[in-house]
Amino acid sequence: MKSAGCLRWIGALAIAGASAFAGPAFAAGADWADVEGRVQYAYYTNDVRALDGILTTLKPMVEEGEKEAPEDLVMRSYFRALTQYRIAQVLAPTKQGDAKKAIDRCHDEADTGVSGLPKIPIGLDETEANRQKRAELYALATACTLSGREMSTLPFFGGGRIGSRIEEAVKLEPKNPRVRLVEALAQFDRAGKDEKEKAAALAKLRAVTQMFEAARAGASSTPEWGAAEAYAFLGRALFDQRDVVAAREALERSLLIAPDYAFPRKLMGQITR
C-alpha cells in the first residue's frame, strides 16, 4: 500500500517553519517528489508565504551563458506552475486580482514546460514519459483556468477560457487520474445550471476518486497530487445537492489523506453545525 505521499506531507510539516522555505534554489536533478510535498502542504494549510518561498527556491541554477537541461526545465516549469495554481486557489476567495496574476503566471509556466518537450516529427510517436509530461502540463494549465472556482458558486473573474487542452490531455493519458479530475471539474464549470450535465460530471468525479485509490495502491510517482482534492470536490458537490451523509464521507476521506487540508475541514464544519 503506497504511503509515500502522506510521508512527504508529514516531512513538509517539519520543514514548514523554516522561514517560508527560504534557501538556495533546487539544483539540477532535484527531488521533485519532495518539492511536490512542500507545495501541497503549503496549499493545504493556505500558507501563501510558504508558496511564495517555494517559488524563490525554484529558480534555475545555471551559470551565465549556459542553458538549463530540458528535463530540469520541464519539471521546474511544471512545479512553478503548480505553485502558482495553489497560490491562485488560496487567494481567489479574498484577493481576486492577485489570484488572476497567479493564474496568468501559471499559464506562462505551463507553456514554458510544454515548449521544453522534444518536438515530435510527423509520423513518429512521443515517448511514454514525454507524453505523460505533456498531458500533465495540459491538465495543469486547465486547472489554472479554474483556480478558486472549482465546485463553487464563485463568479468567473477572468481566468480565461477552458479551451481544448484538457481534451488533448485526455487523449494523451486517458487513465491519468489528475487529467480525469481536471476534466470532471471543467465539466462542472461548463454545466452551469444544467442539472443533467452536473449529474454526469458528478458521476465522473466519483469515478475519478476510484482511479486515485487504484493509483495510491500502486507504485509511487511524481506528480501524484489530486486524491485529497478529488474527495474534497466530491464532498462539495454532494453537499450542494443536500446529500449530507455522502458529503461527510467524502470529506472524511479527503482529510484522512491530507489531515491539514483547510478546504474540506471548513466544509466539514459547515455540515456539522
Dist CA 219 CA 217 (whole Å): 7
**pLDDT value of residue 69:** 73
Q: Which three cell numbers stand for residue 220?
A: 509511487
| Contact indicator for 175, 221 with CB cutoff of 8 Å | no
Residues 208-252: tens digit of each pLDDT = 999 999 998 888 888 999 999 999 999 999 998 899 999 999 999
91 SS3 class: helix
Q: In this model, does residue 21 exceed pLDDT 60?
A: no
Q: In this model, does residue 16 exceed pLDDT 80?
A: no
Residues 175-207: tens digit of each pLDDT = 999 999 999 999 888 887 888 988 999 999 999
Give the whole-number percent of the chain exceeding pLDDT 70: 79
| Contact indicator for 137, 81 with CB cutoff of 8 Å | yes
Residues 141-177: tens digit of each pLDDT = 999 988 866 545 444 333 445 567 899 999 999 999 9
Q: In this model, does residue 19 exceed pLDDT 90?
A: no
Phi, psi of 147 (to 5 degrees): -45, 125
> Averaged over 59-84, what is the pLDDT?
80
